[in-house]
Every structure is written in C-alpha cells, then in structure tokens.
Amino acid sequence: MYPQIRINNRTVGIGHPVYVIAEMACAHHGSLEKALKLVDVAVEAEVDAVQLQFFSRDHLMSVEHPAYDLLGKLSFSEDEWRKIYDHARKYSLDVFVCTYDTPSAEFAIRLGVEGIKLNSSDLSNHDLLETVARSGIPFTIGTGASTVEEISEALARIKDYQKNAILMHGMQAFPTEIADANINKIKIFQSCFNLPVGYQDHTSGDDAFAGVIDLLAIGAGACVVEKHYTLDRSLKETDYQAALNPQELNAYVKRIRTASTAMGETSIQPLSEAERNYRKFQKKQIVARKNLTAGSIISKEDLSFLRTGKLNGYSPDKANELLGKKIIQNISKGAAFLAEYVEGCGQD
C-alpha cells in the first residue's frame, strides 16, 4: 500500500489523481485586486488549490536583509487575506498557505485553510514545524537544498503527525536549471521516508520544458505538483521567473490531468475493454494451414498461427494438445480450430 493523505475529502497519493497546486506566491505584487484576479485564473485553469504566502516581515527577516523593504510592499492585512481566502472558497477552490513564521501559521490555522506549506528553510525551525503539524491540517514540507539527515530529524520531531504530511522535492532557485531538477529524488524520498512525495517546480517559465517537466515528476511518483503562475510574466514583477501565464497554466493543468490518467492502477486489474479489444485484434489463434477433411488426424503440418480478429479457438501454446486427434468435420483453410471440430474436445 502506497502512503496516502486526505486533503478536503480527497485522497492524495500514488494511484489517485495528481493534486495540482497553483502557487500565487507574491505575483500579486502587493495589489489586492491582482490577488483576486489570480484566484480567478486558478479557478479557470481548474487546479485543485491556490497557494498563498502569509508572512510577518519582522518575524521573517532582520531589517538588514536586502528584501526587507520589498516585503513591506507585498504584505496584506489579515482582513485582506481573509477576502482572498473567501474569494477562493466561493468557487470551492482549496487554499494552501505557505507560512514562514509562527504568527502567520497561527493565522492560517484560525482561518481554516485546507493546507499549509512549510519552506525547506524551516526544517530546523521546530516551533513552526510543530505548530503546523499539531494543527491537524494537511501540510507539505519543502526539502530543497536539504540533506537527508535534516529531513529525517525534522520528521522525527513530528512523528505522531506524519499522516498529514507530504514531502515536496524541488530546489527553489529562481529559476532552477533543468540539470538541477533531479527528478529521481522523488523516488529516493519515497523509499527513505514512506511518505507521499510531491514536486514543486521552479524552472524558467520561458523554457518550453517548464511546461512538461512535471510529467517526469508524475512518472517518478509525485502525487502533488506545485507550479508558480502570474498574470503577465513579461512585466517581470515579483516571483515572475518560474511562473506560467494564465493560458500556459490552463494548458499545463490539462497535461497534468492527462498524464495522471495515463499512469493507471497501482495493482493488477482485470483487462479493460480497450485491452480486450486489442487482444482480439492482436493475438494469434491456431488455424488450418490447408483444407482439412473430417476423419483426418491432426499433424503439425496442418497448423498455422495467425491473427483472426477473434479469440474463439485455441491459442498457439495449445498446439500439442491437438496433435494426433481426429477432426470430426471439415475445416477450411485459414479457419480457426474450434473445440467442436476436434474429437474429444467439444463433446459433453
């Protein structure tokens, strides 16, 4: 059994539809109007969740940090975040919140969001990690640029709450070079930690491969994919580098849905109707190599193995069972051997 998690009454894990998160990040550039439009874009693209970023600047970085002033321009009040959340939920869109500090996490928990994201920078931030884990809300844990030992230690801190956790592979360089994607880490993490694993992509939105790299991740077992998006990448506003434009996000989600369907079942199932039809078309049967008359004894020279478009006779591996038996009615060249044509085979 592959590990699974429940997100808002949805089962997420290998063997279930891939859960798609559209990462708004700070693409709103501090504008509430843009943030609401970005929610609309996510709804139109039919993603499963939109991901916001809650942060308290003074709990996140010092005044000396080069991004300190910028974050002041990108901040929303709790009332504004609540409007954005309510707007998404109006359309039954799940809301994930990336939190970088305990006050923001506590606000997300009070808001009742459907999921919380923890950045890899907080693997060692045990207060934040435990606050989120104990909430009972599903959460993702970033693993970018982290060692296996760091991930293991973080998971050990929340071992009683791991049923709500998803590991997210993906290095958060902006943008991430294709050669640094290291998709195989998804399989490694699945093996090491026995948790659902997702993929957060930060490759350049201008790179055509950015539209399909997540298909590789799905093939490797990713059950969640997270993609940045923006209203217009050409404006080069905040978090634009790895972001898709609205029409690109629409196409991306369609590819993800198709790829998810193509992955199929995780256990052996009865043949599908398509497989049964293909079997009739493709599989070979034992047919008469020449016209055969009733009363003759079947020899190897009487048999050919051909496709007939049916599966009403004998498969080639049954040839030895027919040899030496008597034919009880004429068989035309190319006709399949049926049980009722052979003595001792078709009678009750």
CA end-to-end span of the chain: 45
For residue 346, the model assigns a pLDDT of 59
Which of 27-36, 256-265, 266-275 holds the top average pLDDT?
A: 27-36
Torsion of CA 174, 175, 179, 181, to 10 degrees: 70
Token pair of 81 as six digits:
């975040």
- Model pLDDT for residues 163-186, shown as the tens digit of each residue: 999 999 997 777 888 888 999 999
CATH topology of domain 273-341: Type Iii Antifreeze Protein Isoform Hplc 12 (3.90.1210)
- Tokens 């198709």 found at: 258
Q: In what helix (H) or strand (E) does residue 13 lie, and over which residues does it extend?
A: strand 10-13
| Cα–Cα nearest to 203, from 175, 231, 161 | 175
List the domain boundaries for the chain. Answer: 7-263, 273-341
Answer yes or no: are the C-beta atoms of 284 and 305 closer than 8 Å.
Answer: yes
Q: Please give the DSSP secondary-structure letter assigned to residue 170.
A: -
Helix/strand/coil for 297: strand
- Helix, strand, coil percent values for the chain (each to nearest 5): 40, 20, 40
| Cα–Cα nearest to 214, from 258, 278, 174 | 258
- Model pLDDT for residues 290-316, shown as the tens digit of each residue: 999 999 999 999 999 999 999 899 999
Strands 10-13, 197-201: pairing is unpaired
Q: Specify the CATH number of the domain 7-263.
A: 3.20.20.70
Please report, as a single letter, which amino acid is at residue 122.
Answer: D
- Binned at pLDDT 50, 70 and 90, residue 348 comes out as very low
Answer yes or no: are the C-beta atoms of 327 and 292 closer than 8 Å.
Answer: yes
DSSP string, 199-218: EEE-B-TTSGGGGTHHHHHH
The model scores a pTM over 0.85: no
- Tokens 């350049």 found at: 204
- Model pLDDT for residues 213-226, shown as the tens digit of each residue: 999 999 999 999 99
Cβ neighbourhood burial of 314 (10 Å; 0-12, 13-18, 19+): buried
